[in-house]
Chains A and B, each alone.
Chain A
Amino acid sequence: MADLYTNAPPVLAPASAEAKNVLIQANTVESILPLNVKSLRYAVGAAELIRGVSFVVQRGSRNIVLGANGAGKSVLLRLLHGLLPPSGGQIEWAHSNAQFKQAMVFQRPIMLRRTARENIEFSLRLTQRGHRSRDSRGHRSRDSRGHRISDVASAAEAALDRVGLAHLADRPARLCSGGEQQRIALARAWALSPEVLFLDEPTASLDPTATKAIEEIIHAINKTGTTIIMTTHDIGQVKRIASRVLFLHRGQLIEDAAATPFFETPQSPEAAAFIKGELLW
């Protein structure tokens, strides 16, 4: 996605509408996981922000990228999601259409100047080249993810309902509170039925009540089969959410472990110090 406007993604051109529907159906069953990250590097000038990171993400897991500010967590997430081009290494998804099966929620929710419902409808209606379907008259019958166009409005309402914000459907999204906006952002991402959901410190600027609501939604999304890859520097949040912890320090992955052993027997002095709340820099 980083080169979205210079190198357009391959446009598939099946011969018939039926063939396109078959393609969509096929896409829904082909998993983009596991994700295999090999020796990933990202540098800005002489500064190497991600230094040879390697790991594998399995389906259904809740992966927390943990580390202090400046460790490279957000950069890593953007690299995986395709918002930044890597300087080196490889990001290998199991299926080529990976960019259409992932979504991202940012630390500061970005809301369009529309109602909450329209924000979700917008993302549902966005055409993903090669995934559009048309009826026999050539009219669009489904949106980019295979939703029927007539279903988009109800899908948006259902998404808001799942995050407990159905009553705010017609409120301008930018006039909602920070916590509500983040829940709308989660509803928008969830509505796309992503196989992988990236979350970049989604509760960093929220109070405990809003944080609890967001964490419950993340668990709910994960229960539907969506793999979670999330950054945070909040130890408590890691304990509440993670099934696996990737500990980053100065751009290096220095610990990759299941959540329980990570906290009980950290293998690196940096991770042990971070867990104790000591300053690493």
Chain B
Amino acid sequence: MTAEGGVQYSKIAEIKGPLVVVDDVESAAFDELVEIETLEGERRLGKVLEVGNGKAIVQVFEGTTGLSISGTKAKFVGKVMEMPVSKEVLGRVFDGLGRPKDGLPDPIADKFVDINGEPMNPEQREYPKDFIQTGVSVIDGLMTLVRGQKLPIFSGSGMSHNLLAAQIARQASVVGKQDDFAVVFAAIGVQYSEAEYFRRSLEESGALKRSVLFLNTADDPAIERIITPRVALTVAEYLAFDLGMHVLVVITDMTNYAEALREISAAREEVPGRKGYPGYLYTDLSTLYERAGKLDGRKGSVTQVPILSMPSDDITHPIPDLTGYITEGQIVVGRDLFRQGVYPPINILSSLSRLMKDGIGEGSTRDDHSEVSNQVYDAYSRAQEVRALAGIVGKAGLTEIDLKYMDVGDTFEKEFLTQATDENRTIEETLALMWKIVSKLPKNEITKIKDKHVEKYYKEEE
């Protein structure tokens, strides 16, 4: 940071959607921060999207409503957007651009960091393999999250993904090491009531002191949404790699982010890709998701749980589709389970954590975890087939073993999957429930678990 400021230009050539075209600009840089001053003296922030031929295209984060060509001035600040970071940001609530929203002063900065982050050297990345306990059985047991992983939640409009996100943020911990764990929560385009719920829920659970919240509500300018995940990840990286904390970043809802990107792309008259999203949507999303990870020789880690609502519950929609290419698995929230009143309504058959195998087992969870998890997947899958069959031939037409699988399906949904929003289950409790489900099957149906584990944990029903 220097005392040298930027030049203010007063020739505005055009205002188009969220973009302002400034004329006669001599020295602007790509991504440079711009302060737009209105005729009334109001200041808005923006950044340079394009420079050349004496023009600069500026994207105004707070929108261009009320701006006029005459009287508007654009000051090129001479630096990219930076986020002031320090340990003091923990327990604070910021808006989508990183400004305090809790009535407290700006945090006293330890340093100012470019919000675009620094790409991690792939050679220095450390393979993620340490278990994070979320306290949600279905995640911990069947699609385990590990430190440094990026595991998105694919949901649909109106479903309980925000409840789940808040629960994960409240309960997540690294077992046995609570002190160096932090949660960064970025809400993008959520309703005011949801934003308030997140804030209150963390405050009331005592988790706020280890959390940082960035709240961009639905009535905040859409363009701000481009910045929100970036400031959140910048803070997360600082906490992880400068202060050595294990940071869980929950971002909801990435669909709103992608829509803001589409709005800018349309205003720039770029050639649209699928569903009008820009052709670089994949690249853009990867600049966010790839900021998760662990580095060799550094203590901390950044783990990401981005949440996105699939338009029309369509998993082939460009946002979940492209997200799935970048992330390491997905947690899919199912409409059918949601309609049945199950919480969390996670459809395990479409969900997967690609890094789970490295984060579970002896030394991290328990040696039987992988096998019992496979058996539960298998049994629930079979239960679904049996349910479909029962729909055709009726329950009377089912064999005794089919009926047992149906019972397994019911127990799975009622006792294992269903969980109160404030219920924090330990991994031991989760594994015990998984064994309870498996124990509903006769021993000869247990084909995925070693005998020694069956002998130890299988409890035949009386």
The answer to whether A and B interact is no
